[in-house]
């Protein structure tokens, strides 16, 4: 799958990895009632105290290393998929916006673990039907909090899908950095680089302009692909060292 892979630890196929996307991925889990916490892939790249997503990335990374070391293709595919999803979400400009703070304010301070299922996420309940509808429109109406978020992600997906990513292959320096500094530090630096592009703020103000679309294709997309590649590669290297 990756030309960088060490021979001793073949990586799961892309078909195996994609089996744990969609309904079996983090987005599918958000629509189900879970006993524990739900995946939360928002981060402020400029806030050093915001580490919740870093913890999730590290959790899946370590589990991927373990699964690769045990030659457990199914578990490795699962962890690779969820790790990639967390990394890509963490580099998505819409996930850098203070979404939770705005959503909490919109919902009157309601804790996020109380939002169950699709209806619980799209409907803001108030003491009357009319107030509930008006408040819900601030979430899912035109230029609503969730609407804008979804429109950015859908547009970015459409722009990125046809790309071939010939320039996204990690350089020797990229590989040296992830080996010496670790996945989390490389992710932090990459997320800060993305945040400095102000893509979501520019989109919210002007929509899909040519400069915003160009920066998504040329700046954002290659960073996403490179980050996932580096994380998977670092996991393979670490698993190979453990087996040596």
Please name which of 155, 1, 49, 13 lies closest in space to residue 92, comparing C-alpha atoms: 155
Q: Is residue 103 part of a domain?
A: no
Residue 209 lies in a domain: yes
Asked, for residue 127, whether it belongs to a domain, the answer is no
Q: Specify if 138 maps to a domain.
A: no
**Which token pair is 116?**
């169950």
Residue 102 lies in a domain: no
Burial environment of residue 232 by CB neighbours within 10 A (0 to 12, 13 to 18, 19 or more)? buried
170 DSSP assignment: P
Secondary structure of residue 161 in the 3-state scheme: coil
The alpha carbon dihedral of 157, 101, 26, 1 has a sign of positive
The model's pTM is 0.84
Which pLDDT score is estimated for 1? 43
The domain of 162 spans: 14-97+145-243
Mean pLDDT in consecutive groups of 10 residues from the start of the chain, 244 residues: 58 93 72 55 92 96 96 95 96 87 68 52 66 71 83 96 89 95 98 97 94 97 97 93 70
139 is a domain residue: no
Say how many CA atoms lie within 13 Å of 37 toward its Cβ.
8
Using CA atoms, how far apart are residues 235 and 80, in angstroms rounded to an integer?
Answer: 9
| Model confidence pLDDT, tens digit, residues 94-131 | 999 877 777 767 766 565 555 554 455 666 666 676 76
Assign residue 76 the CATH number of its domain.
Answer: 1.10.575.10
Number of domains in the chain: 1
Alpha-carbon distances of 11 from 88, 181, 231, rounded to whole Å: 19, 23, 12
């Amino acid at each position: 799958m990756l030309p960088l892979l060490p021979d001793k630890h073949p990586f799961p196929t892309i078909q195996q990895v994609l089996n744990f996307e969609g309904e079996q991925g983090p987005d599918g889990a958000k629509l189900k009632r879970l006993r524990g916490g739900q995946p939360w892939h928002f981060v402020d790249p400029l806030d050093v105290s915001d580490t919740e997503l870093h913890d999730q990335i590290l959790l899946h990374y370590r589990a991927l290393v373990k699964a690769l070391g045990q030659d457990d293709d199914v578990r490795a595919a699962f962890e690779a998929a969820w790790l990639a999803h967390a990394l890509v979400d963490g580099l998505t400009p819409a996930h850098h916006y203070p979404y939770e703070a705005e959503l909490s304010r919109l919902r009157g301070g309601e804790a996020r673990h109380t939002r169950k299922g699709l209806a619980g996420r799209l409907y803001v309940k108030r003491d009357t039907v009319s107030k509930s509808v008006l408040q819900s429109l601030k979430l899912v109406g035109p230029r609503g909090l969730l609407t804008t978020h979804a429109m950015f992600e859908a547009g970015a997906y459409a722009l990125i899908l046809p790309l071939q990513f010939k320039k996204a292959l990690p350089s020797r320096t990229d590989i040296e950095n992830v080996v010496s500094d670790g996945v989390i530090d490389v992710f932090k630096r990459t997320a800060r680089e993305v945040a400095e592009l102000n893509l979501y703020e520019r989109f919210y103000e002007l929509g899909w302009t040519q400069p915003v679309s160009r920066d998504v294709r040329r700046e954002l997309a290659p960073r996403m692909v490179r980050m996932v590649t580096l994380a998977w590669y670092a996991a393979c290297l670490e698993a190979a060292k453990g087996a040596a």
